[in-house]
Structure 1
Amino acid sequence: MPHDHAIQCVHDPLLVILSYLVSVLGSFTALQLAIAIPAAQTAAQRWRAIVAAGAAMGGGAIWAMHFIAMLACRMDIPVAYGLGLTVLSALIGMASCMAGLAIAGTGVFGWSKLIAAGVFMGLGVTGMHYTGMAAMMMPADTHYDMTLVAASGAIAIVASIVALWLAFNLRGWLQMLGSALVMGVAVCGMHYTGMQAASFMPNGAGDAALAGGLSVTNLGMGVFAVATLLLATMLALSLLRQRQRAMVQI
Structure 2
Amino acid sequence: MPMQLSYNWLLVLLSYAVSVLGSFTALQLAVAIPVATTHHQKTAAVAMAGGAMGLGAIWAMHFIAMLACDSSMQVTYDPALTALSALVAFAACSAGLMLVGSGLFSWLRLLAAGTCMGLGVASMHYLGMAAMMMPAVTSYNMGLVIISLIIAVVASMVALWLAFNLRGPLQMITSALVMGMAVCGMHYTGMAAARFEDNGGQLPDGYATGLRGDNLGLTIFVIVATLLVLMLVLYYWRQRYRSSLNI
- Place the TM-score, normalised by the shorter chain, in its bin: over 0.9
Give the Å deviation of 1:202: 0.5
Give the Å deviation of 1:208: 6.0
- Write out per-residue CA displacement over residues 125-171 of structure 1, whole angstroms, 9 at most, x where no aligned residue: 00000000000000001110011011001000000000000111111
**How many angstroms apart in 2 are the aligned matches of 1:54 and 1:235?**
14
TM-score normalised by structure 1 residue count: 0.94
Equivalent residues of 1:81, 1:216 under 8 A apart = no
- Structure 2 counterpart SS, 1:107: coil
Partner of 2:25: 29
**How many angstroms apart in 2 are the aligned matches of 1:217 and 1:159?**
31
1:127-206 correspondence runs (5 A):
127-206=123-202
**Counterpart amino acid of residue 135 in structure 2:** P
Partner of 2:64: 68
**Counterpart amino acid of residue 189 in structure 2:** T
User: Which of 119, 122, 126 is the equivalent residue of 2:118?
Assistant: 122
Give the Å deviation of 1:211: 2.1
Give the Å deviation of 1:36: 0.4
Give the Å deviation of 1:228: 1.4
**How many angstroms apart in 1 are the aligned matches of 2:53 and 2:120?**
12
Residues 248 and 171 from structure 1, CA distance in 2 versus in 1: closer, same or farther, beyond 3 angstroms?
A: farther
**How many angstroms apart in 2 are the aligned matches of 1:77 and 1:12?**
14
Give the Å deviation of 1:217: 3.0
User: Which of 213, 217, 220 is the equivalent residue of 1:220?
Assistant: 217
**How many angstroms apart in 1 are the aligned matches of 2:218 and 2:180?**
20
Partner of 1:99: 95
Give the Å deviation of 1:216: 4.7
Is 1:237 equivalent to 2:211 in the alignment?
no
- Structure 1 counterpart SS, 2:137: strand
Equivalent residues of 2:133, 2:203 under 8 A apart = no
Residues 151 and 61 from structure 1, CA distance in 2 versus in 1: closer, same or farther, beyond 3 angstroms?
A: same
**How many angstroms apart in 2 are the aligned matches of 1:217 and 1:98?**
32
**Counterpart amino acid of residue 49 in structure 1:** A
**Counterpart amino acid of residue 236 in structure 2:** L
Unaligned segments of structure 2, at least 5 residues: none
Residues 50 and 208 from structure 1, CA distance in 2 versus in 1: closer, same or farther, beyond 3 angstroms?
A: closer
Give the Å deviation of 1:245: 2.8
Give the Å deviation of 1:231: 0.8
**How many angstroms apart in 2 are the aligned matches of 1:219 and 1:82?**
14
Q: Percent identity?
A: 60
**How many angstroms apart in 2 are the aligned matches of 1:118 and 1:88?**
21
Give the Å deviation of 1:243: 1.9
User: Which of 8, 13, 31 is the equivalent residue of 1:17?
Assistant: 13
**Counterpart amino acid of residue 85 in structure 1:** L
Partner of 1:49: 45
Unaligned segments of structure 1, at least 5 residues: none
Give the Å deviation of 1:15: 1.5
Equivalent residues of 1:79, 1:216 under 8 A apart = no
TM-score normalised by structure 2 residue count: 0.96
C-alpha RMSD of matched pairs (Å)? 1.4
Give the Å deviation of 1:54: 0.1
